[in-house]
């Protein structure tokens, strides 16, 4: 029937359009860029529009800092004393949605000019040649190189071809917070060994100082639980520490890991509230802030909550202490940071300027003062004012020098599929339908599903 042929032709037509559009995406930009160059009249490069997406909006702790960056960047690159660079900002509320969108963009080769490649996005971008090696830019600017620090550059160049594909914007150092009042009541102090850790938990349980000693959670990405898990493995000698510093571990079936899971199993069964299993971060955090629990593993960004009247009772912040994990272990890792998507030279140059603006000394200072993100080098110091207003962060920073075991988070060392499946396996570990051995085997299965999994 005639209608069917109309349908068939239109289908064919639009598929053709699509295929053309797919490959044409970036080519169109080259042409217009060339035209731009030819019409530039002053000494600086022609004006550029950068596309960037951000999830630091709404309630995100760095939302204010982020907005400030965008504003100040465009005021700085205003076309008068310097090239004019405008930012086309796309807001992607919630980090998870941001990473999902990045995957969609990467699949259509339309990544924003500046992007954050967590969750495996950067791995795939590098592998398929759509991320830019920034070493040429960084090497041309000694001052900036110094402000980044050697470890930042080493971290960003940890790729097969040694290229610098991501520049971090801050350091993550995590220990745990505890309720000093409850510790006093139970007659304990922060544990120096893991045996002491367990006996502390026993003491807290027996002393009736809290509803449960630990604020654990297995929902979302099991954040607070996995910090403790990471610490147990990361402080267990050479092998464990190496494990916790590998990007994308191939297997979880090692004695350190299995032992760690058994300990976590006990902690979830004996020393947590009933809602720990399946709980999300907000609930776990609230239990600590509401003085239901005595210990929560988390990073310095939590500290403003202690004095937030909407979240905690008056004077709670006085009761909170900061500690490193037993054996002086702590999470100590750089944030993945920013990368540039392959595009025209003009856009790539401008994109680098943006990254530089955000991660140089000035950028790090803003990040610290406004969002509580620790700077990349010790060159950036906290102001006295800041120390006054953020005693817990100051306390944590002082402890940094005493760290003996540094390791990364479970999220960082794991394939995303493994982390996602861990959240669903925890409940079965807790209710006994899985043993630690079985759990790690299932984790391996999950890891193998990831697109970046290398099965050599």
Partner 1 sequence: MHQREGVTDWMNIKKRWLVLFLLPATAVFILVYAIPVSMLTATSLTDWIVASTPHFNGIDNYIRLFHDPQFISAIKNTLLWMLLQSTLHISIGVIAALILARKKFYWKFVRTVYMFPNIISSAAIGMLFVMLFNPSFGFVNQFLAAIGIENAPNWFANSKTAFGAVTITWLPFAATVTILVMAEMTSIDGAILEAARVDGATEFQMDVYIVLPMMKNIIGTTAILGATSMLQKLDIILMTTNGGPGDLTLNMPLYVYKTAFTAKQFGLANASGVVMILMGLVAVGLINRIYGIGKKEC
Partner 2 sequence: MKVKKIITKSCIFVFILLIIIISVGPLLWVLLASFKTNREILNGGVGLPEVFSFKNYSDALKLAPILQFYINSILAGVGSTLANVFFLSMAAYVIARFQWKGKKFFRMIFSLGLLIPGAALLQPLYQTMTTLKLHDSLIGLSLVYIALGLPTTIYVMSSFFMTIPIELEESAYLDGAGFFRTFASIILPLTKPALGTAAVLEFLLAWNEFQFALTLTASNAKRTLPIALYYFKSQFASNYGAMFAATIMVVIPSIAVYILLQEQVVSGLSSGAVKG
Stretch of residues binding partner 1 (CB under 8 A), selected from 119-127, 313-321, 363-371, 403-411: 119-127
Under 8 Å between Cβ of 377 and 148: yes
| Cα 244 to Cα 85: distance, rounded to the nearest angstrom | 41
Please report whether residue 289 would count as binding partner 2 according to CB under 8 A: yes
Please report whether residue 420 would count as binding partner 1 according to CB under 8 A: yes
Nearest distance, CB of residue 211 and partner 1, angstroms:
8
| Cα 306 to Cα 345: distance, rounded to the nearest angstrom | 47
Under 8 Å between Cβ of 298 and 174: yes
Please report whether residue 18 would count as binding partner 1 according to CB under 8 A: yes
Please report whether residue 86 would count as binding partner 2 according to CB under 8 A: no
In the list 37, 127, 266, 398, the residue contacting partner 1 (rule: CB under 8 A) is 127
3-state helix, strand, coil in the chain (%, to 5): 55, 15, 35
What 3-state DSSP class applies to 277?
A: coil
Token representation of residue 315: 């004077």
| Residue 97 near which of partner 1, partner 2, none (CB within 5-8 Å, type-dependent) | partner 2
Please report whether residue 70 would count as binding partner 2 according to CB under 8 A: no
Stretch of residues binding partner 2 (CB under 8 A), selected from 50-58, 242-250, 266-274, 398-406: 50-58
Please report whether residue 31 would count as binding partner 1 according to CB under 8 A: no
Please report whether residue 46 would count as binding partner 1 according to CB under 8 A: no
Closest C-alpha among 6, 12, 9, 110 to residue 53 = 110
| Cα 299 to Cα 182: distance, rounded to the nearest angstrom | 20
Nearer to partner 1 by Cβ, of 391 and 423: the residue is 423
| Residue 124 near which of partner 1, partner 2, none (CB within 5-8 Å, type-dependent) | partner 1
| Angle at 374 (CA atoms; ends 124, 226), nearest 5 degrees | 60
| Residue 90 near which of partner 2, partner 1, none (CB within 5-8 Å, type-dependent) | partner 2
| Cα 162 to Cα 369: distance, rounded to the nearest angstrom | 33
Token representation of residue 26: 């970036």
Q: Using CB under 8 A, which residues numbered 105 to 124 contact partner 2?
A: 107-108, 110
Element (H, E) at 25: helix 2-39
Please report whether residue 4 would count as binding partner 2 according to CB under 8 A: yes
Binding site residues, partner 2, CB under 8 A: 1, 3-4, 14, 17-18, 20-22, 25, 55, 57-61, 88, 90-95, 97, 101, 104, 107-108, 110, 220, 223, 281-283, 285-286, 289-290, 298, 301-302, 310-312
């Amino acid at each position: 029937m005639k209608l069917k042929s109309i349908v068939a032709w239109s289908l064919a037509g639009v598929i053709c359009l699509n295929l053309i559009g797919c490959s044409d995406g970036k080519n169109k930009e080259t042409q217009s860029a060339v035209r731009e160059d030819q019409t530039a009249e002053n000494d600086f490069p022609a004006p550029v529009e950068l596309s960037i997406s951000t999830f630091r909006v709404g309630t995100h702790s760095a939302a204010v800092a982020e907005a400030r960056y965008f504003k100040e960047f465009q005021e700085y690159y205003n076309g008068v004393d310097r090239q004019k660079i405008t930012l086309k900002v796309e807001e992607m509320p919630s980090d998870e949605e941001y990473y999902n969108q990045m995957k969609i963009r990467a699949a259509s080769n339309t990544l924003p000019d500046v992007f954050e490649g967590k969750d495996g996005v950067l791995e795939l971008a590098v592998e398929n040649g759509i991320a830019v090696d920034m070493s040429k830019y960084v090497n041309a600017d000694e001052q900036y190189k110094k402000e980044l620090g050697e470890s930042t550059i080493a971290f960003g160049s940890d790729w097969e071809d040694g290229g610098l594909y991501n520049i971090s914007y801050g350091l993550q150092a995590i220990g745990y917070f505890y309720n000093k009042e409850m510790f006093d009541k139970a007659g304990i102090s922060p544990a120096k060994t893991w045996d002491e850790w367990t006996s502390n938990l026993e003491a807290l349980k027996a002393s009736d100082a809290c509803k449960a000693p630990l604020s654990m959670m297995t929902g979302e990405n099991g954040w607070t639980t996995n910090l403790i898990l990471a610490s147990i493995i990361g402080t267990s000698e050479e092998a464990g520490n190496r494990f916790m510093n590998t990007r994308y571990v191939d297997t979880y079936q090692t004695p350190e890991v299995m032992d760690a899971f058994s300990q976590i199993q006990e902690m979830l069964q004996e020393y947590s509230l009933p809602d720990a299993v399946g709980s999300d971060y907000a609930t776990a955090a609230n239990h600590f802030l509401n003085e239901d629990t005595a210990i929560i593993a988390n990073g310095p960004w939590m500290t403003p909550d202690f004095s937030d009247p909407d979240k905690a009772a008056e004077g709670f912040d006085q009761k909170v202490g900061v500690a490193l994990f037993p054996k002086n272990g702590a999470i100590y890792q750089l944030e993945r940071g920013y990368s540039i998507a392959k595009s025209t030279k003009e856009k790539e140059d401008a994109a680098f300027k943006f990254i530089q603006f955000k991660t140089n000394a000035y950028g790090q200072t803003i990040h610290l003062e406004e969002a509580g993100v620790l700077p990349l080098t010790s060159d950036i110091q906290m102001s006295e004012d800041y120390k006054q207003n953020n005693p817990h962060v100051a306390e944590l920073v002082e402890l940094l020098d005493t760290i003996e075991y540094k390791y990364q988070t479970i999220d960082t060392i794991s394939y995303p599929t493994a982390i996602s499946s861990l959240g669903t396996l925890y409940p079965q570990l807790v209710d006994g339908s899985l043993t630690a051995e079985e759990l790690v085997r299932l984790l391996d299965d999950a890891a193998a599903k990831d697109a970046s999994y290398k099965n050599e």
